[in-house]
Amino acid sequence: MKDSSNAETLPQETRIGRTALRVDDRSELTEFYRTVVGLDVLDESETRSVLGVADTPLLVLEGGTDAPARKRSSAGLYHTAFRVPSRAALGDALARIREHSRLTGASDHWVSEALYLTDPEGNGIEIYRDLPREEWPRSDDGRVRIGTEPLDLDTIEAAGTGDAQATPETDIGHIHLEVSSLDAFRDFYVETVGFDVQTTVPAAAFVSAGGYHHHIGANTWQQRTTPVGGRGLSWFEVIIPEREALTTVRSRLGDRGIPVTETDGDLVVHDPDETDPETIAHTRLHVRPRAYRRFGHRRYCRSGLLRKPMTEPVAAPRLDSESSPSSPSSSSHSSLDMFVRYVSRRMPASFTAPPIRPTSRGYPRAASPCTRGSSRRRRGPSPRRRPR
């Protein structure tokens, strides 16, 4: 995906609004987001919970849908990122995570300090605080550069105040998606909606409005190939603060033949992977995913790095825009990042894996692309030598 800046960009105050998740156990997840993330329950029914801070809704949990579990091939949510205003608030979040859940990653992204975890149904969560804008590194063309370095958790912990609730200034700073195509992602969110590309790295892109480091991230690290389906991301909001800008977005959607539904001034539209961004003026673009299917997709075997259980938190996948898959960096990487680098070095672009034939012994060796052409043979028990 090429870097691109849009001639008709969104207003500087554009931001992410609410995010909605389809869930199986609404009560369990409501309690999780209340005790771990620190959100207040603002409204609750038998099928729906609304959580937020200071009467501002941030997260909607939709239960009672009987939605199946998300398939491994489905696009959808990578993580919802809750932004806190200070290192003290981040320290309080770290204490809640350690007490009630498990930390899965922690990174200094040069523009922010971030903690990572997952909820009981596997939805990714980031809790982060921004560094001052004047400290953000930028490339020669003025775009924000994002990297990944280990985060000193001792300093974060020391800054905490013991607050069990998220601060009233907490909001959703960005959302990160797993998509089936970065080109389709750019066509919709950059060329049509009007975001600017800030950073691109191998198999990922980050777009924003108003020079922010990113409001929406997208990656193809897991080779998702089918639209959003089952439990997980249902929709999210893009808040556009000017009615004129919203009208311009609607015009561009119409010019591209993208169906739009308008309800009480909100625009509801499906993105290429059937996510619902909803736009309102004052306003939202409510995004629900729409099908964008890629056929003839490749299958790769999972390396031992991904099979190995993680016992210690690791840094999130490296986002250094100056690095490439073929040039490992000296800083630590997550197993996912190392797997992406491994695949990019080992797999030719024309490679198509043979079909997987499940057996009682699990993944069949002959169908594994990592062992095709290998000179090794499976050894059976050594035959007994006949006495001379």
Query: How far apart, in Å, are the Cα atoms of 118 and each of 32, 125, 346?
Result: 10, 5, 30
Residue 116, pLDDT > 70, answer: yes
Q: Report the b/e string of 85-99 with b at 16+ CB within 10 A.
A: eebbbbbbbbbbbee
What span, in angstroms and rounded, lies between the C-alpha atoms of 76 and 241?
Answer: 26
Delimit the domains of the chain by residue range.
Answer: 15-289
Nearest to 37 by CA among 52, 22, 57: 52
Residue 365, pLDDT > 70, answer: no
What's the pLDDT at 342? 41
What span, in angstroms and rounded, lies between the C-alpha atoms of 196 and 91?
Answer: 32
What's the pLDDT at 384? 55
Mean pLDDT of 101-106: 97
Instruction: Mean pLDDT check: name the lowest of 151-155, 268-272, 340-344.
Output: 340-344
What's the pLDDT at 283? 46
Dihedral, CA of residue 348, residue 186, residue 327 and residue 132, to nearest 10: -160
What's the pLDDT at 281? 46
What's the pLDDT at 262? 86
Instruction: Mean pLDDT check: name the lowest of 90-94, 148-152, 300-304.
Output: 300-304
What's the pLDDT at 331? 38
What span, in angstroms and rounded, lies between the C-alpha atoms of 167 and 301?
Answer: 43
Dihedral, CA of residue 36, residue 37, residue 40 and residue 42, to nearest 10: -120
- pTM equals 0.73
What's the pLDDT at 284? 53
Residue 180, pLDDT > 60, answer: yes
Mean pLDDT of 203-231: 94
Q: In whole angstroms, how large is the CA radius of gyration of the chain? A: 22
Residue 4, pLDDT > 70, answer: no
Residue of 243 and 85 predicted with greater confidence: 85
Residues 182-199 pLDDT 10s: 999 999 999 999 999 999
How is domain 15-289 classified at the CATH fold level? Answer: 2,3-Dihydroxybiphenyl 1,2-Dioxygenase; domain 1 (3.10.180)
What's the pLDDT at 272? 87
Tell me 77's DSSP state.
Answer: E
Enumerate residues 6+ apart whose C-beta is below 8 A from 32.
Answer: 100, 101, 119, 120
Mean pLDDT of 346-364: 46
C-beta atoms surrounding 356 within 10 Å: 12
* Placement of tokens 């020079």 in the chain: 211
Q: Is 17 helix (H, G, I), strand (E, B) or coil?
A: strand
Residue 18, pLDDT > 70, answer: yes
What's the pLDDT at 67? 83
Which band of pLDDT confidence, cut at 50, 70 and 90, is reported for residue 38?
very high
Which band of pLDDT confidence, cut at 50, 70 and 90, is reported for residue 64?
confident
Pairing of strands 56-62, 124-130: unpaired
Mean pLDDT of 242-257: 92
Residue of 388 and 49 predicted with greater confidence: 49
Instruction: Mean pLDDT check: name the lowest of 46-50, 166-170, 261-265.
Output: 261-265
For CA atoms 340, 342, 345, 348, the dihedral sign is negative
Enumerate residues 6+ apart whose C-beta is below 8 A from 208.
Answer: 144, 174, 195, 196, 198, 214, 215, 216
Instruction: Mean pLDDT check: name the lowest of 68-72, 114-118, 149-153, 172-176.
Output: 68-72
What span, in angstroms and rounded, lies between the C-alpha atoms of 116 and 360?
Answer: 36
227, 292 Cβ separation under 8 angstroms: yes
Residue 74, pLDDT > 60, answer: yes
Q: In the chain, where does DSSP find H-type helix?
A: 26-32, 87-100, 153-159, 182-186, 243-255, 304-307, 335-346
Mean per-residue pLDDT over the chain, rounded: 79
* Placement of tokens 């490296």 in the chain: 318
Residues 276-303 pLDDT 10s: 666 554 445 666 554 333 323 333 333 3
Mean pLDDT of 37-61: 97
Which phi and psi angles does 196 have, rounded to 5°?
A: -105, 145
Mean pLDDT of 137-151: 94
Strands (E), the chain: 15-22, 40-44, 48-53, 56-62, 76-83, 105-108, 112-118, 124-130, 149-150, 171-178, 196-201, 204-208, 216-219, 232-240, 261-263, 266-271, 276-281, 283-289
Which band of pLDDT confidence, cut at 50, 70 and 90, is reported for residue 337?
very low
Residue of 357 and 265 predicted with greater confidence: 265
Which band of pLDDT confidence, cut at 50, 70 and 90, is reported for residue 81?
very high
Residue 323, pLDDT > 90, answer: no
